[in-house]
Amino acid sequence: MTKWVLFLITANIAVYLLQGQFPEQTGAFAFVPGRFFMQPWTVITYMFLHADFGHIFFNMLSLYFFGPRVEERLGGVRFLTLYFVSGLFGAGTSMVFSPHSPIIGASAGVFGVLLAFARLWPRAQLLIWGIIPVEARTLVVIMTAVSLLGGVGLGFQNVAHFAHLGGFVGGWLVLRLTGTQPVDERRRVVQARRAPTPTSAATERWKQIQLERLHPVNREEAERVLSKLETRGPGSLTTDEQAFLDRFSGL
């Protein structure tokens, strides 16, 4: 588990345990749109509160599954920005579209992380309820439809559907403004300068990789590296990228 995902999960669990000891304090930290100007801190604190065990369990489970890979790709600063901006947009959309409904939960931040995962690995196979396979990008479409229907009263009640939609919007905006370039891109450039230029035999072997036999996540990375090989030449590949292609060139 990555540093900031571990921090967020730990903080949420700690606050949940405190809620159990001091339940009367929950209202002081929940986000109530009508009280925003009297309790502005609640646009942050509401993200760490949960209604019951099931609520926190599924939020933290989703963060555990999607968060580490997103954090590894974006880096700690961009990951935290993504998470909290998504949460802030969740509060904002609730204020606009559901001004009389208090909200609590990490869902908006988690939805932003889910959107980032789907943007980075759109064809990654996920299992709904552990049995129904669906691509990450399709899951985002499904969750958007569920939230839209729920927002107009056609879905589960007592769910902050507009906060979920706000999480998607906030996540999309952060990715739009900051990009999805890997955090270690500068390191890759340095490594590329030091990496030995691969032989022509190696490059030919890499081009023979059967992409259709790879896991979707590995296939996307292989396509990226092979595209770089094609457009920028063998000398542009880092040691890690060469090792990555070597790993699959025998398949």
Judge if 16 and 135 occupy the same domain.
yes
Tokens matching residue 20: 């159990």
- Clarify whether 164 is annotated catalytic: yes
User: Tens of pLDDT along 46-98?
Assistant: 999 999 999 999 999 999 999 999 999 999 999 999 999 999 999 999 999 98
Please count the helices (runs of H) and the strands (runs of E) in the chain.
12, 2
Distance between start and end Cα atoms, the chain: 29
Q: Per-residue pLDDT for 190 more than 60?
A: no
| Cβ(148)–Cβ(165) below 8 Å | yes
Tokens matching residue 135: 């691509």
CA nearest neighbour of 166 among 143, 182, 188: 143
Q: Which helix (H) or strand (E) holds 114?
A: helix 107-120
Strands (E), the chain: 125-128, 132-135
Judge if 99 and 211 occupy the same domain.
no
Judge if 168 and 51 occupy the same domain.
yes
Range of the domain at 160: 3-178
Look at residues 159, 178, 197 and tell me which one is the last residue of a structural domain. Answer: 178
| Cβ(105)–Cβ(58) below 8 Å | no
| Cβ(165)–Cβ(141) below 8 Å | no
Q: What does the alpha-carbon distance between residue 237 and residue 189 come to, in Å, rounded to a whole number?
A: 9
Write the secondary structure of 195-224 as one string of H (helix), E (strand) and C (coil): CCCCCHHHHHHHHCCCHHHCCHHHHHHHHH
Judge if 159 and 136 occupy the same domain.
yes
Q: Please identify which of the residues 86, 94, 107, 147 carries the catalytic annotation.
A: 107
- CATH number of residue 18's parent domain: 1.20.1540.10
Judge if 82 and 29 occupy the same domain.
yes
Average pLDDT over residues 162-191: 82
Q: How many domains does the chain have?
A: 2
Q: How many CA atoms lie within 13 A of 115 on its CB side?
A: 28
- Residue 141, sorted as left (phi over 0), alpha (psi -120 to 50) or beta, turns out to be alpha
Judge if 189 and 116 occupy the same domain.
no
Judge if 119 and 225 occupy the same domain.
no
Judge if 160 and 92 occupy the same domain.
yes
Look at residues 158, 178, 198 and tell me which one is the last residue of a structural domain. Answer: 178
Judge if 67 and 25 occupy the same domain.
yes
- Clarify whether 86 is annotated catalytic: no
- Kindly give the pairing relationship between strand 125-128 and strand 132-135: antiparallel
Label residue 193 by pLDDT band (50, 70, 90): low
- Is the alpha carbon torsion for 94, 165, 127, 12 positive or negative? negative
Judge if 159 and 193 occupy the same domain.
no
Give pTM, 2 decimals. 0.73
pLDDT at 14: 98
pLDDT at 84: 98
Judge if 165 and 232 occupy the same domain.
no
Look at residues 178, 212, 230 and tell me which one is the last residue of a structural domain. Answer: 178
User: Tens of pLDDT along 122-175?
Assistant: 999 998 877 889 999 999 999 999 999 998 777 666 788 999 999 999 999 999
Judge if 152 and 225 occupy the same domain.
no
Please tell me whether residue 127 adopts helix, strand or coil conformation: strand
Residue that has been written with the tokens 């569920």 in this structure: 146
Label residue 186 by pLDDT band (50, 70, 90): very low
